[in-house]
Amino acid sequence: MRLIVVMVAALIGVGALMPPTAAAGPTVCDYPACTPGIAPNMVLGAPCDNTTYYAFGVSGGYVPATQPGRLMFCGSPRRYQPRWFRSPPMAGIKDENADCGKFLNYVAQAPDGLFLICIAQEGHAFWTRADT
């Protein structure tokens, strides 16, 4: 019996010494500011490498024609080499195939980093892959 009491006390002590687990991210994110993985210091029109996941970046402002903090996305026009383009308005983090009626023609990022766009089809607006 004494051994059980000692073991329970030891486990409680270890639990008290453990750091708390990280809090989950925001449950609602409708803006770029709460979106993870946005690459800093990108240059509008410069080559980029990922049009599918974590495809957003912001300008650093060191190029005179670029506004600091301008949101951009990595896209491939007509399947040419991908480059940075000015982004449409961004709606933060959204789920693929979820309703997006109030964000028509906006872009977003899925929780796993997938690049999304809000489109309307057959009277229903939904988030779909933007890289296809």
Q: Are 85 and 44 in contact (CB under 8 A)?
A: yes
Ranges under pLDDT 70 in the chain: 1-27, 61-67
- Residue 13: inside a domain, yes or no? no
Supply the pLDDT for residue 80: 87
User: Does the model's pTM come out above 0.95?
Assistant: no
pLDDT given at position 62: 62
Residues of the domain holding 100: 28-129
Please count the residues of the chain: 132
Q: Look at residue 70 and tell me if it is in a domain.
A: yes
> What is the tally of structural domains in the chain?
1
| Residue 6 resides in a domain | no
pLDDT (0 to 100) of residue 52: 95
Q: Has residue 90 been placed in a domain? A: yes
pLDDT of 86-107, one tens digit each? 999 999 999 999 999 999 999 9
Contacts of 32 (CB under 8 A, 6+ apart): 38, 56, 58, 71, 90, 92
Query: Would you state the pLDDT for residue 112?
Result: 97
The pLDDT value recorded for residue 7 is 45
